Structure 1
Amino acid sequence: MKTHLTDNDVFEHYFSFAVQSKPIKAIEKIFSHLLPYGKKIQLKKGKHYRINEEDEGVGLLLITDGLVSFINTDTGHFISTLYPPTIIGLSHGYNAFYNVPDSLRSTLYAETDADLIFIPLQTFIDTVDKQNLWHDVARILAHRIVTLMNKEKTYIGVDSYSIIKSMIQEVWLYPDHYRLQISLPKFIQNRSGLSRSRIMKILFDLKLGGYVNIVNGKLLSVSKLPTSY
């Protein structure tokens, strides 16, 4: 997944940073060793998958296609949007392997049709040990921590317009074939906790001002968004 330069002030966005700094070589190296042991899972748009609670059992998931949201099962809070190639379940695997109490409960939500590969936990551990891949795993985890820290700065202590603006910028960075499957108002509401009426009012005013073009909920274009509302 690649970003592209536009006239929008989006290149400093946390999601843009996440895409540009993603340790692709480390992920692809791990993928190449794990894929032969995987079970394919097709997750249709709008469907959920509960990590370590489905028929496949305890293990990790590789995203090979599609956009998937990562959700805290207990609170319903949307944590992040994941895009291929991505490895999911490293922290869950740690908790399961070491029997950590009060383990994480997370759910995946398919924003688009998505292709996943399930890898049993013990297979993952044995493969990473055998192929000496723990340095690559560490790079992936470090990137994830830094990305979450950058995201925190984006959303904490800001007003509703700033939140909506940031989410518009994020969606605009998605490849067209993913972005055009997403309902922007629903995407914003799920992640922000803002009322639908507030979201629709701000989106309507941005469209009226010529800053965005939204048709049937789909974001078709963005020009430089105002600093404030």
Structure 2
Amino acid sequence: MYLKRPVESIERLMSALNPGATAYDLPRRRLLDIPVNEVWLVERGMVAVYRNRGQQLVYIAASPLILGVRNLFASPTEMLMAEFLDVKSIAKISPEDLKTVLDEKGLWKDMANLISFYLECMLTSHYRLVQRSDYEIIKGLIYEYTKLSDYVKERTTLAQYIIEKGLISRSNVLRILSILNKNGCITTTKGRLLTVMYLPEKL
């Protein structure tokens, strides 16, 4: 499953929500819990979202981003953490105020698009944990990496992305990527993926 971020919906939501949001300068510590009583708006930079207390990467993307939308309906049972990269400030809005804007502006469809996307991210993250082999996980993450924006790929190597999102040892990731490079399946330079020619069913 290769996920497409609903950028147009996010941009409409950001435009409507920003006037009522409060600016917030981030502390020096850039890995923060996403609180249950706030929704965060990120206009510039890149954010990585983790579960399991920062151990498993769920999603990484460049702005614009809206974090904490699951707080609209219930207090989540699992805390997510956000790591901010090239981000100095964000804007905050309460779930109640956000709902008011959605009602007034008729933006619930855009919010539904965003929530559906985040649910797909979480399901993909859970599914990846029960895959049968490291190679199957790496294969899926290589294709997923190709869908990232250039901004993200310039700041995240292929190996780093796979290690953090797939929970696979660094040595095994590098070993498999080396085999794929030698066999002409992929081309990389300085850790960045240039081309994907083909990925065999089994390695």
Same fold (TM over 0.5): yes
Per the alignment, residue 204 of structure 1 pairs with 178
DSSP 3-state at the match of 2:168: coil
Matched, 1:179 2:158: no
- Measured in 1, the distance between the counterparts of 2:132 and 2:88 equals 35
- Measured in 1, the distance between the counterparts of 2:78 and 2:122 equals 17
Q: 1:180 to 1:198 in 2, by over 3 A?
A: same
The residue type paired with residue 81 of structure 1 is I
DSSP 3-state at the match of 1:30: helix
CA deviations 1:86-125 (Å, max 9, x no partner) are: 3210113444xxxx4x744211124x53476322204323
Q: 1:155 to 1:47 in 2, by over 3 A?
A: same
Q: Contact between 1:64 and 1:115, CA under 8 Å: does it hold in 2? A: no
- Measured in 2, the distance between the counterparts of 1:75 and 1:177 equals 22
Runs of 5+ consecutive residues of structure 1 not aligned to the other structure: 1-13
State, as a whole percentage, how many aligned pairs show the same letter. 21
Q: What is the CA distance between 1:150 and its match in structure 2?
A: 5.4
Per the alignment, residue 71 of structure 1 pairs with 50
CA deviations 1:40-86 (Å, max 9, x no partner) are: 65799x94232129xxxx42122334442211253622222344433
Moved over 6 A (4+): none
Matched, 1:50 2:50: no
Matched, 1:37 2:52: no
Q: Contact between 1:207 and 1:213, CA under 8 Å: does it hold in 2? A: yes
Q: Contact between 2:57 and 2:165, CA under 8 Å: does it hold in 1? A: yes
Normalised TM-score (structure 2):
0.79
Q: 1:141 to 1:156 in 2, by over 3 A?
A: same
The residue type paired with residue 34 of structure 1 is L
Per the alignment, residue 5 of structure 1 pairs with none
Q: What count of residue pairs does the alignment treat as equivalent?
A: 201
The residue type paired with residue 87 of structure 1 is I
